[in-house]
Amino acid sequence: MRLGIFGGTFDPIHLGHLIVAEQCREQGRLDQVLFIPAARPPHKNDQELTAYAQRVEMLALALSGNPAFRIDEREKDRPGPSFTVDTLAQLHGCHDGAELFLIVGSDTLRDLPLWHEPVRILELAGLLVAPRPGAPIPAADEVKKSLGLADSFPLRYQVCDVPLIDIASRDVRRRIAESRSVRYLLPRAVEAYLCDKKLYMDKRS
């Protein structure tokens, strides 16, 4: 079993997320992609997040109809910050023998040395890297060097060919707050949910 791990706040999930997940699923030969909404992301302590349950509901609407995509809520009740290394360790315990692959954007990858226990992350999972506008993709050797790893470290590293779709949840929230269109940035069902719940209408960030 080859499992893709796609973490994030998904506040809200948008078409860019889904395109990355599908292309990484295909090119990484993944049997399943787990979307793992973060409960308390350590790098967003100063940002007010939409309620966890509502972010999960939006994910469910967006992923409906794709049997290879599944929501995993394991970070919901875990105390403390939602560290990726803890999630990967738990997943290894639940999926004995499975190969884990962390789906990351090239913009996120450059911050990997600042993550909690980054070397342990690479011991637990391979990397499927999706290009992001304005964020060059480092070579595998550069990733090793940034973490002080030996050349012999068994880094599993694959760059996926993903269209450069520059959509950000932050921009979606701002557009809604400014009463601007978000059509074709989100799955239609998620757009309808946001309208029904009146989410983001008074928030610009």
Cβ atoms within 10 Å of 57's Cβ, excluding its own: 16
Stated pTM of the model = 0.93
Using CB atoms within 10 A of its CB, is residue 146 exposed (0-12), middle (13-18) or buried (19+)? middle
**The pLDDT of residue 169:** 95
**The pLDDT of residue 123:** 97
Domains annotated on the chain, with CATH: 2-165 (3.40.50.620)
Task: Quote the radius of gyration of the chain (alpha carbons, Å).
Answer: 17
**The pLDDT of residue 57:** 98
The pLDDT profile of the chain, 205 residues, written as one tens digit per residue, is 999 999 999 999 999 999 999 999 999 999 999 999 998 877 666 678 999 999 999 999 999 999 999 999 999 988 888 899 999 999 998 988 899 999 999 999 999 999 999 999 999 999 999 999 889 999 999 999 999 999 999 999 999 999 998 999 999 999 999 999 999 999 999 999 999 999 999 765 5
- Measured CA to CA, the distance from residue 91 to residue 58 in angstroms comes to 23
Cβ atoms within 10 Å of 12's Cβ, excluding its own: 27
Asked if residue 14 lies in contact with residue 48, where contact means CB atoms within 8 angstroms, the answer is no
**The pLDDT of residue 143:** 95
- Measured CA to CA, the distance from residue 138 to residue 141 in angstroms comes to 8
Asked if residue 124 lies in contact with residue 154, where contact means CB atoms within 8 angstroms, the answer is no
What is the number of residues in the chain?
205
